[in-house]
Amino acid sequence: MFQAIVIDKDSERQWAELKTLDESQLPPGDVTVRVSHSTLNYKDGLAITGRSPVVRKFPMVPGIDLVGEVESSSHPDYQAGDWVILNGWGVGESHWGGLAQKARLNGHWLVPLPQAFTPQQAMAIGTAGYTAMLCVLALERQGVRPEHGEIVVTGAAGGVGSVAIALLAQLGYRVVAVTGRPGDADYLQQLGAVEVLDRALFSAPGKPLAKERWAGAVDVVGSQVLANVCASTRYRGVVTACGLAGGMDLPATVAPFILRGVTLVGIDSVMCPREERLVAWQRLASDLKLDKLGLLSHDIGLGQAIETAHQLLQGTVRGRVVVDVNA
Ligand code: NDP
């Protein structure tokens, strides 16, 4: 028997509750994992609260990422005792996920836990941090270097934003944080931001082209904020777009792209090929200062996950939330 958060629905409503399940109920898969930690990402918030139709099968155990020890495996790459990480692949959406003490998964979804991290630290990074690294890798691939100028990070006090600031600052970039919580300026500066701007400056409809400022961007907000970031990106600058915390729309013009040669790069962590995941986790191991992880994360137990998911969507949770599923 094991404990798990379970999302279910009937004809009238959808709900989430902490339940005790039997191992025989686990979905098919070639690796069974004793989960140590999971996390709460924005998507987990959407799933648990039911605010967006993230869950595609019911009942569902949410949790788009996890770290744990392999209990049994028929996959050639893994054996009992190995420590593994899972991010995405539809887990927590269409396959039972990490907010549970046990998971059964497909071996080709897993990556080994890097030696640099404890299980808790791996989940302090989690899918949000791995996505931040994918954004950094994309900026590098497009040729953005620290000497080219400032990088703007939106949704800065959230999970992706916090890790992106810590990573970019460590790599020598001058990072400007955009937040709806100017009261968190100290926190953002401790992570490495050199300047903190109020999100209100980016939230109203702006001109197709604004004053050129950013050499690069990591945007988790979408909508009007992303449009204004593109409009204020410098000639041949690069904007990575990974989120929709402010909305799915993009009320922009083509002006930044055709007059300034701005590149808009889409970032997806869910179906990202395994080779790139391995690179991202290796780079996280080498480039992310562990003391920053302590600053940007806090731990909760499985029993607090539902309540915290609601707070996450209200935008009141800072940084990353690690869920110790055995606490
Ligand atoms: P968090 O909730 O931790 O952070 C989101 C941040 O966005 C908030 O902290 C807040 O930052 C800002 N924000 C929240 N609501 C609004 C709003 N209405 N308007 C403008 N800004 C807002 O979420 P995550 O960091 O986990 O995820 C961020 C986004 O990235 C989500 O949309 C998520 O779905 C997406 N994502 C995408 C992935 C991919 O593969 N493409 C993978 C992981 C995440 P502040 O208070 O500082 O303004």
For residue 130, the model assigns a pLDDT of 97
Atom number in ligand 1 closest to CA 46: 34
> If you take atom 8 of ligand 1, which residue's CA is the nearest one?
158
Q: Give CA 237 to chain center in angstroms.
A: 23
Residue among 191, 218, 179, 130 nearest 315 (CA): 179
> If you take atom 12 of ligand 1, which residue's CA is the nearest one?
155
Atom number in ligand 1 closest to CA 319: 3
Taking the chain (327 residues) in consecutive chunks of 10 residues, what is each chunk's mean pLDDT? 97 96 97 98 96 95 98 98 98 98 98 97 97 98 98 97 98 98 96 98 97 98 98 98 97 98 98 97 96 95 97 94 97
Using DSSP's 3-state secondary structure scheme, residue 127 falls into helix
Alpha carbon distance, N-terminus to C-terminus of the chain: 16
Atom number in ligand 1 closest to CA 225: 20
Query: CB-based burial of residue 186 (10 Å sphere; 0-12 exposed, 13-18 middle, 19+ buried)?
Result: exposed
User: Going by C-beta distance under 8 Å and a sequence separation of 6 or more, which residues neighbour residue 105?
Assistant: 29, 30, 31, 33, 86, 91, 95
Q: Is the CB of 312 under 6 A from ligand 1?
A: yes
Buried b (16+ CB within 10 A) or exposed e, 144-177: beeebbbbbbbbbbbbbbbbbbbbbbbbebbbbb
Q: How far is the CA of 25 from the centre of ligand 1 (A)?
A: 33
| Gap between the Cα atoms of 101 and 43, Å rounded | 20
Atom number in ligand 1 closest to CA 245: 32
The encoded tokens of residue 207 equal 């001109």
The encoded tokens of residue 119 equal 């299980």
For residue 103, the model assigns a pLDDT of 98
Among 38, 39, 42, 179, name the best residue to mutate to test ligand 1's pocket (greatest count of ligand atoms within 8 A of Cβ).
42
For residue 172, the model assigns a pLDDT of 98
Q: How far is the CA of 312 from the centre of ligand 1 (A)?
A: 9
Among 43, 136, 160, name the best residue to mutate to test ligand 1's pocket (greatest count of ligand atoms within 8 A of Cβ).
160
The encoded tokens of residue 223 equal 């909508």
Q: Is the CB of 98 under 6 A from ligand 1?
A: no
Residue among 197, 267, 258 nearest 231 (CA): 258
The encoded tokens of residue 29 equal 């898969």
For residue 225, the model assigns a pLDDT of 98
For residue 88, the model assigns a pLDDT of 97
| Gap between the Cα atoms of 208 and 198, Å rounded | 20
For residue 206, the model assigns a pLDDT of 96
| Gap between the Cα atoms of 18 and 215, Å rounded | 46
| Gap between the Cα atoms of 188 and 319, Å rounded | 10
Residue among 276, 271, 275, 327 nearest 301 (CA): 327
pTM listed for this prediction: 0.97
Q: Is the CB of 156 under 6 A from ligand 1?
A: yes
Atom number in ligand 1 closest to CA 272: 40
